[in-house]
Amino acid sequence: MLFVSTITLLVAAVLPSVTLAAPTNTTIVARAPASFTHPGAFVSLPQLSFVRDKVKAGAQPWTNAYNQMMSSKYASLSRNPTPRATVECGSYSNPNNGCTDEREDAIAAYTLALAWYITQDSRYATKAISIFDAWSTTIKSHTNSNGPLQTGWAGTSWPRAAEIIRYTYTGWSSTSINNFSNMLRNVYLPGVINGSNSNGNWELVMLEAAQGIAVFLNDGASYDKVMTKFLGRVPAYVYLKSDGAYPKAAPGSGL
Ligand SMILES: *[C@@H]1O[C@H](CO)[C@@H](O)[C@H](O)[C@H]1NC(C)=O
Ligand SMILES: *[C@@H]1O[C@H](CO)[C@@H](O)[C@H](O)[C@H]1NC(C)=O
Ligand SMILES: *[C@@H]1O[C@H](CO)[C@@H](O)[C@H](O)[C@H]1NC(C)=O
C-alpha cells in the first residue's frame, strides 16, 4: 500500500497532467486537475526560469540555442503577420492558401514569447500579441483535405505562445485575450477535439493542439475528452512486442 502510493506520487510528479485511478489500480485515467498550473501547455514557469538563468550565465548548450533562436526569422520584430479568413490546405498543402503563413505566424508568436521571457524586453511580448490580434480578428475556418492536420499544426503553437504571454506579461489587454480565446474555442478546438481515426500522426498532433487549447481555456471537460483519446491512441501508435502479432487498435478506429 505504502509502495503503491509512493509510485502514485512519483508518477503524479512526473506527469502533472495525468493522475492514477486508485492506489491499487495502475490504470491511467484522463482527469483534469481542479485548476491548471499556468504557464503550461508545453513549458512551465520553472523550466522557463531555468533556461533564462542558463542564458544569463552564458552556459551551454542553452546560450547557443538561444542565439540561434534570436537570429531566426521567427524572432524578428519586423514580421508582418498575414492572416486569412479561410486557410485552405489540400493534400501535402497543395493548394497552400495561407497554410505555411499560418503555421509560421504561430511559430513566430511562440518564439517571440520565449524571447520575451528570456530577455524581459517587452517589444517581443507586444509583437507576439500583434500576431495574436491579426489572426484572432480574421480567421474563420480551415478547409480542404489537410484542414484538420493544419489546424493541429498551427493549434499546437498558439497556446504555447499565449500561455507564456498571459501569465508572465501584464500588458495583454482583456479584449485581446478574449478575442484570442474565442478564436481557439470557436475556430481551432472543434476542428481537433474529435481527433482523426485515419492516421496516428494526424490524431496525435490534433490532440496535442486540443490539449494545449484546453489548458489555455481552463476547459477541464475538453481536457478530459482529449486525454481519453490520447491514452487510447498512444498504445496504438507505439508498437510493443508484447502487443502480439498486430499493433493495438485505437478505440473507435473500427480495426
Ligand atoms: C482499473 O480501473 C479502470 C478505470 O476505473 C477499470 O476500467 C479497470 O477495470 C480497473 N482494473 C482493475 C484490475 O481493477
Ligand atoms: C477584438 O475583436 C473585435 C471584433 O472583431 C475587434 O473589433 C477588436 O478590435 C478586437 N480587439 C483587439 C484588441 O484585437
Ligand atoms: C465531434 O464529435 C461531436 C460528438 O461527440 C459532434 O457533435 C461534432 O460535430 C464533431 N465535430 C466534428 C468537427 O466532426
Which tens digits make up the pLDDT trace of 182-216? 999 999 999 999 999 777 899 999 999 999 999 99
**Residue nearest atom 11 of ligand 2, based on CA coordinates:** 176
CB 165 within 8 A of CB 172: yes
pLDDT above 60 for 18: no
pLDDT above 90 for 250: no
| pLDDT score of 29 | 77
| pLDDT score of 28 | 73
CB 126 within 8 A of CB 79: no
Secondary structure letter of residue 184 according to DSSP: I
Highest mean pLDDT among 8-17, 79-88, 240-249: 79-88
pLDDT tens, position by position, 143-168: 999 999 999 999 999 999 999 999 99
**Residue nearest atom 13 of ligand 1, based on CA coordinates:** 25
**Residue nearest atom 3 of ligand 3, based on CA coordinates:** 194
CB 128 within 8 A of CB 165: yes
254 — pLDDT class (breaks 50, 70, 90): confident
Q: Three-state secondary structure along 40-90? A: CCCCCHHHHHHHHHHHHCCCCCHHHHHHHHHHCHHHCCCCCCCCCCEEEEC
Secondary structure letter of residue 250 according to DSSP: P
Instruction: Tell me the average pLDDT of the chain.
Output: 90
Ligand number nearest CA of 21 is 1
pLDDT above 60 for 33: yes
pLDDT above 60 for 114: yes
Ligand number nearest CA of 126 is 2
Compute, in angstroms, the gap from residue 179 CA to the centroid of ligand 2: 6
Mean pLDDT, rounded, for 126-133: 98
Give the global pTM. 0.86
Q: Residues 6 or more apart from 118 whose CB is under 8 A from it?
A: 48, 51, 52, 55, 66
Q: Is the CB of 190 under 6 A from ligand 3?
A: yes
Q: Residues 6 or more apart from 110 whose CB is under 8 A from it?
A: 74, 157, 158, 160, 161, 164
| pLDDT score of 214 | 98
Q: Delimit the domains of the chain by residue range.
A: 87-250
What are the pocket residues of ligand 1 if the criterion is a CB atom closer than 6 Å to any ligand atom? 21, 25, 27, 29
More confident: 62 or 25: 62
